[in-house]
Amino acid sequence: MTWGPRWLPPTWRRVATWSVATLGFALAYGQFPLSQGNYNTYLLHGFAAGGRGLLEFDWLARTIDPFPVFSALITIPAALDWRWFFYVAHGALLGVYLYSSMRLVEGAYGQNGPISRVILLSVLALPQVWLGRDAVSYVFNGDWAWCVQSGVAMQYVVGHMFQPSLFGVLCVASIAAFVHRRDWMAPLLAAAALLMHFGYLITVLGMMVSYSLIRWREAGNARAALRYAACTLTLCAVASLPALRFLPTDEATAAEAARILTEIRFPHHALPSRWLGHPSIVWVQGPLLALGALVAWHTRVRWVFLILLGLGSVLLLTQVVTGSRQLALLFPWRASVVLVPVAFSLMIGALSRRLWARQTPRHAVVLGAAVALVAAGYGYSHTRAEVRSSDEDPIVSLLSAASAMATPQTVFAIPTDMERFRLEAGAPTFVDFKAHPYKDAEVVEWHARISLARELDGDEPLRVCDAVARLHDRYGVTHFVRPTSHQLVCDRLVTAFRDEDFLIQQWL
């Protein structure tokens, strides 16, 4: 599938084609502004290293960075205030995902004609972008289209933010490369995903084992297969080295940290009892995985798919039976974030062989191009709406005031659900619930801070003021951010900022 002037070399025409496809898909998919959601967790260390505001003095920024390679990647853009970098990088990884899905289908079932590939590309992309998702939601009263690109336990590879988990698209790219018999490129791509996010450990291990098994079955050379397995597992071990910093401090601390993370911070990700019977699994993802395994059977990825599915299922069952929190924190079901989009792509590929294996009429291509343009415009409008909502949030004036007040000696105690304060104000912050450390001793400290900060929401004035004094004396908190309707009435607190929604009280 290539477009462009005939005088361009074929390579440049392919680059131009996929650049246009990536731009269209990125616009249609949409993005969230840097003030939203997971950005407030994953950008902190990189922003602090880049000298943004006074984040280098923030307690959380001084904890062990769980994603050091990702933080290093964003340090220079953070220092130069290249906000465009995060959106461009997000769009580029979306392009990798789209290209990998297309190549996966072509490698598994063979290439259709160039016009048919345009239709195939549209059918792969449309259910995953805002236009398709909203259409499905309107018809079926639920965001069921999200389920064809996301995994179980509210985890996903592709999302609306540039974050470490987004590099999981390299796992899809790895499988696509293996289908095309680029057997050494495949483990490199998988290891790169693991290097960016350690949560892909079990998934990548399963992929390495399955690649080695397939090569052994195809070549019948056990020695070559063992060499390949040794190389891929060594690569996996090297990519896992940053995680060694999170070895347990001691048994009791590790157990308490695991309890806090699994039962308090993200039970929706870590406890199968919270998500195992969700309708999306029963009606969409479960059947999709079963059908994906069926259609993958006659392709080169069948053992990749089946080993990942089997490994994830066995470890899920083990966690349910044993209740192991440590196993839950390895998220063995994260393999579903790769398997679901792979299964969807294989299903579309299987249908394509029957429905449009021959050349598609050109009027269908024109219709597909028109839908793509509409989808791009629709997705862009979603992005603009998100940015406008962020800019018009009543918290914006508070953030500006806090940024002006901040010094290396100030520490702000905020409502624990005010997740966008730290990153945008660039001010040292006591704690919030969204952003947390990963080292066990630091997790325990984070939970203690959360418990103390929530005492400010109590109904007994004496206890609230006692919590204020402890925050100042023990942690050096100097400023207290509160909703205007919940002003703290304590000695030594004066109002430094106030509007209709929020106020900042300063300790004197």
Pair of tokens at residue 442: 């630091």
From CA 133, how far away is CA 166, in angstroms rounded?
19
Kindly list the distances between the CA atom of residue 411 and the CA atoms of 103, 427, 458, 459, 497, in Å, as whole numbers in the listed order: 51, 7, 21, 24, 15
Pair 139, 380: CB distance under 8 Å: no
**pLDDT for res 176:** 96
Residues 6 or more apart whose CB falls under 8 angstroms from that of 423 comprise: 34, 35, 39, 40, 43, 44, 47, 55
The token pair at 75 is 């340090």
What's the pLDDT at 14? 78
Q: How far is CA 188 from CA 90, 171, 193, 236, 253, in A?
A: 21, 10, 9, 9, 35
Residues recorded for the chain: 508
| pLDDT, position 356 | 62
Say which residues have a Cβ less than 8 Å from residue 139's Cβ, sequence separation at least 6: none
User: What pLDDT does 3 receive?
Assistant: 54
Q: Please tell me the predicted confidence (pLDDT) of residue 363.
A: 73
pLDDT digit string, tens, across residues 258-284: 999 999 999 999 999 999 988 999 899
Residues 32-45 pLDDT 10s: 999 888 999 999 99
Sheet holding 502-507, edge to edge: 412-413, 479-483, 502-507, 493-498
Core vs surface per residue 224-235: b (16+ CB within 10 A) or e: ebeebbeebeeb
What are 94's two structure tokens?
A: 């979306």
pLDDT score at 7: 58
Helices (H) and strands (E) in the chain, counts: 24, 4
The label of the residue with tokens 């490129």 reads 185
Name every residue whose Cβ is closer than 8 Å to that of residue 240 and which is 6 or more positions away in sequence. 194, 198, 201
Residue 192 identity: A
Q: Distance between CA 377 and CA 334 in Å, rounded? A: 32
Residue 384 has a pLDDT of 96
pLDDT score at 11: 75
| pLDDT of res. 5 | 56
How confident is the model at residue 436, as a pLDDT? 96
Which amino acid, one-letter code, is at 172? V
Residue 369's pLDDT is: 80
Q: Which two tokens stand for residue 51?
A: 């000298």
What's the CA gap between 59 and 27, in Å, rounded? 37
Contact indicator for 144, 137 with CB cutoff of 8 Å: yes
pLDDT at 110: 74
Q: Are strands 412-413 and 502-507 parallel, antiparallel or unpaired?
A: unpaired
- The predicted-structure confidence for 148-194, as pLDDT tens digits, reads as follows 999 999 999 999 999 999 999 999 999 999 999 999 999 999 999 99
| Low-confidence residues of the chain: pLDDT under 70 | 1-9, 111-116, 356-361
| Per-residue three-class SS string for 108-144 | HHCCCCHHHHHHHHHHHHHHHCHHHHHHHHHHHCCCH
DSSP 416: T
Q: How many CA atoms lie within 13 A of 121 on its CB side?
A: 29
Calpha distance 388→311 (Å, rounded) = 44
pTM over 0.85: yes
Q: Which amino acid is at 78?
A: A
